[in-house]
Amino acid sequence: LAALDRIAARVGPDGRALVITHGGVISAVTAGVLELDGGRWPLARVLNTSLTTIEVGEHARVHTFNDDSHLDEAERDGYRTGSATHVVLMRHGQTEANAAGIWQGSLPGVLDETGRSQAEALADTAPHLDALYASPLQRAIDTAAPLAAKRGLSIETRDDLAEMSMGKWEGMTTAEIESGYPDVWSTLYRHGEDVPRGLDGETFGGVAERMRQAIEAIIADHAGETVGVVSHGAALRAFLGTVVGFGFQGRNVVPSMANTAVSRIVASDRGTALATFNVRP
């Protein structure tokens, strides 16, 4: 990471730099930001000409990994391993609540005009899918619908793909939560304790385990296939922590996926690896 720090110093605090280098270097830098502990390697092979975006600074984070969206589907083969199962993770489109800064949690959510356009774009750009799953919340189903229609797939909903329950915070803005629940907010975001959201909601760790079990069940049912999953920002980030090895306190090494962004994991007899992260249509 020292080389990136030197580049960042040259371009300034708001600058951007394009670095053309090698797959091993990109993997090593990504691993450093993710603070991998040297155990099982959870990153798939970096594709030729793929793009990885890293924010450098006191709190480095991986914004995108292995973005292959400019490649034809047939060229996206660098991370294929025999009869591996691919899970294409997609966040729902933008909702009215997203735009207003409201915490939705288990509320249904309604796609706004931008969200509907995002869902249509996702339907045009998502990879080949053999099956399609979605959270039962309306914003996820409405995002999956154009994709299902264009690919001739049915949508199978699973309760365990739903967003993290935010308890009493659902329907509130961040400012309202901070002022109304200062002690819980401080416990979570200043002291880093993974307590239930909104007093009676879920924890990051609880959602991570729920999502892990859901994805593992889907993989078991679709061995060797490519399966789409439409879910939610907090739920997907918690699950991805189980793949690359971070928990609640380490979650900020990656952002929540953008609306309708795509991340892909590959499951094989060698384990589960992250192939792409936060790739926008």
- Kindly list the catalytic residues: 92, 163
Q: Compute the C-alpha angle 268/153/68, nearest 5°.
A: 50
CB 85 within 8 A of CB 267: yes
Nearest to 263 by CA among 242, 152, 247: 242
State how far the Cα of 258 lies from the Cα of 171, in Å rounded to an integer. Answer: 20
Could you tell me the two tokens for 219? 């993989």
Q: Which residues contact 105 (CB under 8 A, 6 or more apart)?
A: 163, 164, 165, 166, 167, 169, 170, 197, 198, 201
Q: In this structure, are residues 153 and 144 in contact, taking their beta carbons and an 8 Å threshold?
A: no
Residues in CB range of 241: below 8 A, 6 or more apart: 204, 208, 247, 250, 251
